[in-house]
Amino acid sequence: MTPRFLPYALLLPATLFLLVFFLYPFVQIAVLAFSGPDGFTLQHVQTMTSHWKFGTALTNTIVLALIVVPIQLVMALSMATIVTKLRTGRSAILYIFTIPLGLSDLAAGIIWLAIFEQSGFLNSLLYGLGIIERPILFLGYQNIWVIFIAVVLAEVWRATAIVMVILVSGMGLIPKEYYEAAEVFGASPWKRFVKITLPMLRPSLQSALILRTLAAFEVFAVVIALGGTTLPVLMGETFQWQFALQDRNVASAYALVILAISVVSTLFFLRVLRVPKEARI
Amino acid sequence: MTDAILTDTPRSVSDAQAAGRFLIIASTVLLCVWVLVPIYLLAVNTLSSPQEVSGFPKSGVPSFDFGSVQFFVSFAGVARALWNSVVVAVLTMVLSIGLGAPAGYALTRFDFPGKEAFRMLVVMTRAFPLPLLALPLAVMFIRVGLDDTALGLALVHTVLAIPFAVLITFSIFSGIPIELEEAAWTLGCNRWQAFQKVVLPLVLPGITASAVFAFTISWNEVFAAAVLTIENRTLTAFLVQNLNVSPLHLKFAGGAALVIPALIFIFAVRKYLFSMWGIANR
Amino acid sequence: MKIQSRLMLAGALAAVMTAAGTVGASAQVLFWSTQAAPIEETQAMREQVLAGFEGGVDFQPQEVGPFVTRLEAELEAGSGSIGVVGALHGELSTYADSWADLSDVDLGGIQVSEAFLELGKLGTDQQLYMPWMQANYVMAASNEALEYLPEGADINALTYDQFVEWMGVLASETGSPKFGFPAGPQGLKHRFFQGFLLPSYTGSTVTKFRSAEAETAWNKFKELWQYTNPASTNYAFMQEQLLNGDVWVAFDHVARLADAFNQRPDDFVAFPAPSGPVGRGFMPVLAGIAVPQGAPDIEQSKALVAYMMQPETQVATLKATNFFPVTDAPLPEDLPPSARALGEAITTMTSGEDALPALLPIGLGDLGGQFNQVYTDTFERVVLGNQDVRQVLDEQANTLRSLMEQAGAPCWAPDEPSEGPCPVE
């Protein structure tokens, strides 16, 4: 096969698959957002944007992602770096770090609720240490920022492992000669990290950031578990319109908003962390 | 780096290095605690009696009450649901890597018209909420007879997992200089042989990583599983979909029931996942 | 890698084989339900209630998302596996066009409540669903809370004023709010406003939505909210908070209080919801069973419907789910503590002189969810968002009015019957 057709041949199975199992149903849903009894309409989009929760849901979703994703990036980089520096127990430590991978967001929500709820573990600890006399209400609707922090903690705990595993696989590919050479020239560990690790890791960083940000925009189960409806997010509103209010048109409009901010953020990461065709050095 | 570690075996370390080591050990311990404590608390609540789970203050030590666990184990059909989950997850793994890895390779090594369009298609797949897609997919599956089969559910889970497979393999292939492959070509290998002998061993960890993701995505997915399987329920659809409305102690036991098999799976493949230091030392 | 890929292949083959082997393996009736979803109730339904049905039943309770999705997919595809659907009145009325007529199901002399049978016709002359089981909402309190009951107040005949006073005393004496209200995402808060609070003050659910009396009612509730545990916005099943002591008094669906009474029968009491100036408003819960027109075996499905109505099945259902019979089935002596305590409270509430029953919404079709949302939104804006009551009521009244017109639904009790869509004054 000539090299001109090789890429298409490689892409063909995945493309066909996605056309049938994603694009076909997707188009069916997406048109709902704009179709009314008399053809094209912006009625549903209007219903969505004029609903009093829309603005809050959009802001919450974006702000959550803006806080969670950078924290996870820093933590994942530290974890990956630490692992490479360990002399003993490396595989055990790596395994521990990856444990949250196996957890569903449902389970994560249950666990963190058990920590933060009024009769939960955190209150038990504070009470046991004699710091408080009666349990504190952490997740009340008046303290939205506490709920926010709880959601951030739970999300960081749950989904950092994904970023870390991608980065660890990427770090393994950086030739050690580079570090050795840098050391000969007396580069400090920090300098080595900034000048070698980060640039060489660009493809992995890009993939990890894209995947993680997309997931962050779909945050749902953890928010519902910890905040109920006090902290509306886009995915929660999509569910609400689709199933509780049974208005599939508006639900579809919400889903398209999630899609839109995801595409924008992906384009951003593709631009900022551009990966050359082959990672020549 | 290996050298640096070797040279400091005699106790001639400078203070700075000692401080560095201490910092690493301290942060390792801290991070392990951060990851493990919530898991431990899940275990505590799973192994406590209903009264303890809803009581206050909590002791933080399990009383080894196996009532909640027993409730799940005695559920008729758990074994079959477990098997269905494994089958669906393995199928998802095979499908998403089989379809995704070639695409990831193509995105790395070639420039061609339509590349960006394909990339966007992949991203959109991950960015659109599955519960909305479930309805048209279910209609389609009922019509063509894929409804209530492991394969049908695996196809849906592959939609979720394929962006991971494509993007991760893309990033891993990108990290391998093409010179390596070119060298193999000049030594008489054809493209496929060069890939197999030179590239494949290097990308194994990345492939394993995406396999792990595919597995856990499928394992933990509830919605599509609840809609698309009836007789062949997966473990999540079977046990966990109604945890939200179940009493607290069962919520925790159900959560743990889901976590344990996933942890065993990750443990089983960790060798592949973390083997890169051995092979990448080129 | 080779071994790994071989393993994968073997797994795939095995999977395809199992997939091929199990299709159509059994002819059980698939019972698709939104009720009895808590995992213990599911187990009890399977083992205690449905095990006796000849031919077998596959009981699958679902959260509303998968429930609706699968049901709609089967209706759209025109075929499927669901034999019987069990759901609440409101959920069933969404798909009125899709149910088979159950008028010819032979009940063999079992008396079913006339009012419920009428609801099951969904405004047609066919029996589109069969009433299955009923429940109600009541108050529950721990014994400790009773010590703070205002003097002269009768727990079985409280007014909203007395109730709020009681909660106020409780909050100030114990140092923290002790009333719990299921205002979480899974909580049934809207029913309280539709069926309890508003009818008690206005004698209406829809017509007088923005009346001065309704304003008074909402302000009363705001007062109560001061003594309500703020974590209520996370609550869904008040039995949990009663058991762990986060709240001492709570309002909820009987099925969602039952666990407290079963775990510690001597520690809790159940009592009727309070009364307002117009009466003691309350709203029953009615679940029904329907058969989709495209069910695989309609005769077998109908046989299951008949089975569900048998006296023994109805009693077993009560024990499994804390939903009471809709038939004249005699109740046995050995009821669980929850059924006894909660059942008594319901009887006191529904048979009192000031009883003011509010019916479930009728004729809303698939707008039932949006109808509920009007009340939930009002609550979130007035109580949580602290917005001006008058203004919120005016705005939400517009939404309510357009919903009524869109559905063309005439008024239902306690509102006066109307010609055409129920007006919002």
> How far is the C-alpha of A169 from the C-alpha of B171, rounded, in Å?
9
The DSSP call for residue C101 is P
Domain that holds residue C317: 27-135+285-335
pLDDT digits (tens, 9 = 90+) for C18-59: 444 343 445 789 999 999 988 888 889 999 999 999 989 999
Nearest beta carbon to residue C369 from set A113, A224, A246 = A246
In the structure encoding, which two tokens stand for residue B124, read together? 């959109």
Nearest beta carbon to residue C64 from set A119, A140, A244 = A244
Q: Tally the domains of chain B.
A: 2
Which chains have 3+ CB pairs within 8 A of A?
A: B, C
The DSSP call for residue C155 is G
Asked if B92 and B62 sit in the same domain, the reply is no
> How far is the C-alpha of A266 from the C-alpha of C92, rounded, in Å?
42
**What mean pLDDT is predicted for residues A250-265?**
95
Asked if B166 and B133 sit in the same domain, the reply is yes
Q: Tally the domains of chain C.
A: 2
For residue A64, the distance in angstroms to the closest alpha carbon of chain B comes to 16
Whether residue C162 is contained in a domain is answered as: yes
Domain final residue, candidates B69, B95, B111: B69
Residue showing tokens 């304003």 = C215
The DSSP call for residue A23 is I
Domain final residue, candidates B41, B69, B97: B69
Whether residue C4 is contained in a domain is answered as: no
> How far is the C-alpha of C254 from the C-alpha of C350, rounded, in Å?
14
Whether residue C97 is contained in a domain is answered as: yes
Whether residue B117 is contained in a domain is answered as: yes
User: Percentage helix, strand, coil, to 5, in chain B?
Assistant: 80, 0, 20
Asked if B106 and B184 sit in the same domain, the reply is yes
Whether residue B4 is contained in a domain is answered as: no
Q: Side by side, which strands form the sheet with C29-33?
A: C57-61, C29-33, C82-88, C285-290, C130-135
- The rounded Cα B75 to chain-centroid distance in angstroms is 26
Whether residue C166 is contained in a domain is answered as: yes
Asked if C362 and C245 sit in the same domain, the reply is yes
What is the 3 state secondary structure string of B193-243?
HHHHHHHHHHHHHHHHHHHHHHHHHHHHCCHHHHHHCCCCCCHHHHHHCCH
Pair C230, A142: CB distance under 8 Å: yes
If DSSP codes are grouped into helix, strand and coil, which group holds residue B48? coil
Asked if B39 and B88 sit in the same domain, the reply is no
For residue C89, the distance in angstroms to the closest alpha carbon of chain A comes to 14
| B203 at C interface, C-beta within 8 A | no
pLDDT digits (tens, 9 = 90+) for A83-130: 877 777 888 888 899 888 888 888 888 899 889 988 889 999 999 898
Helix (H) or strand (E) holding C139: strand C137-142
> How far is the C-alpha of B43 from the C-alpha of A66, rounded, in Å?
32
| A243 at C interface, C-beta within 8 A | yes
> How far is the C-alpha of A267 from the C-alpha of C325, rounded, in Å?
59
> How far is the C-alpha of C392 from the C-alpha of C219, rounded, in Å?
12
Asked if C183 and C244 sit in the same domain, the reply is yes
Q: What pLDDT score was predicted for residue C69?
A: 92
- The rounded Cα B48 to chain-centroid distance in angstroms is 29
Whether residue B2 is contained in a domain is answered as: no
Asked if B25 and B164 sit in the same domain, the reply is no
Residues contacting residue C243 through CB under 8 Å, at least 6 positions apart? B54, C259, C260, C263, C264
In the structure encoding, which two tokens stand for residue C69, read together? 């999705």
Q: CA–CA distance from C155 to each of A103, C73, C141, C227, C250 (Å)?
A: 47, 49, 10, 18, 14
> How far is the C-alpha of C227 from the C-alpha of A178, rounded, in Å?
66
CB atoms A119 and B58 under 8 Å? yes
Asked if C214 and C245 sit in the same domain, the reply is yes
Helix (H) or strand (E) holding C141: strand C137-142
Whether residue C49 is contained in a domain is answered as: yes
Whether residue B145 is contained in a domain is answered as: yes
Asked if B140 and B210 sit in the same domain, the reply is yes
* β-bridge mates for residue C33, sequence order: C61, C86
CATH code at C155? 3.40.190.10
Asked if B15 and B118 sit in the same domain, the reply is no
CB atoms C18 and B83 under 8 Å? yes
Nearest beta carbon to residue B242 from set C42, C74, C243 = C42
> How far is the C-alpha of C199 from the C-alpha of A120, rounded, in Å?
38
Asked if B29 and B99 sit in the same domain, the reply is no
| B246 at C interface, C-beta within 8 A | yes
**What mean pLDDT is predicted for residues C74-81?**
90
Whether residue C71 is contained in a domain is answered as: yes
**Closest residue of chain B to A220, computed from CA coordinates:** B129
CATH topology of domain A56-236+250-272: MetI-like fold (1.10.3720)
Residue type, A37: P
Which band of pLDDT confidence, cut at 50, 70 and 90, is reported for residue B261?
confident
B276 has a pLDDT exceeding 80: no
Asked if B61 and B144 sit in the same domain, the reply is no
Domain final residue, candidates B69, B85, B119: B69
Asked if C278 and C295 sit in the same domain, the reply is no
Please provide residue C27's backbone torsions phi and psi, each rounded to the nearest 5 degrees.
-115, 30
Closest by CA position to B254, among listed B208, B222, B281: B222
Asked if C111 and C240 sit in the same domain, the reply is no
pLDDT digits (tens, 9 = 90+) for B214-230: 998 998 898 999 999 88
> How far is the C-alpha of A257 from the C-alpha of A260, rounded, in Å?
5
The DSSP call for residue A243 is I
Domain that holds residue B176: 77-279
Nearest beta carbon to residue B143 from set C4, C18, C77 = C77
Closest by CA position to C85, among listed C285, C321, C292: C292
Q: Can you give the pTM of this predicted structure?
A: 0.87
For CA atoms B2, B6, B8, B9, the dihedral sign is positive
Interface TM-score (ipTM) > 0.95 = no
**Closest residue of chain C to A51, computed from CA coordinates:** C377
**What mean pLDDT is predicted for residues C396-424?**
90
Residues in A touching B60 (Cβ below 8 Å) = 121, 124-125
Whether residue B25 is contained in a domain is answered as: yes
Q: Extract long-range pairs of B224-227: CB within 8 Å, 24+ residues apart.
A: B224/B130, B224/B134, B224/B137, B224/B153, B224/B156, B224/B157, B225/B88, B225/B153, B226/C62, B226/C63, B226/C65, B226/C66, B226/C70, B227/B134, B227/B138, B227/C66, B227/C69, B227/C70, B227/C73
| C243 at A interface, C-beta within 8 A | no
Q: Angle between the A144-171 and A54-85 helix axes, to the nearest 10 degrees? A: 40
Whether residue B241 is contained in a domain is answered as: yes
Asked if C127 and C186 sit in the same domain, the reply is no
**Closest residue of chain A to B56, computed from CA coordinates:** A119
Residue type, B97: I
pLDDT digits (tens, 9 = 90+) for A39-92: 899 999 998 998 888 999 999 999 999 999 999 999 999 999 888 777 778 888
Q: How many CB pairs under 8 A join A and B?
A: 320
Q: How many residues does chain A have?
A: 281
Which band of pLDDT confidence, cut at 50, 70 and 90, is reported for residue B75?
confident
Whether residue B1 is contained in a domain is answered as: no
For residue A51, the distance in angstroms to the closest alpha carbon of chain B comes to 20
A280 has a pLDDT exceeding 70: no
Query: Which residues of chain A from 49 to 68 reach within 8 Å of chain C, CB to CB?
Result: 52
> How far is the C-alpha of A267 from the C-alpha of B127, rounded, in Å?
13
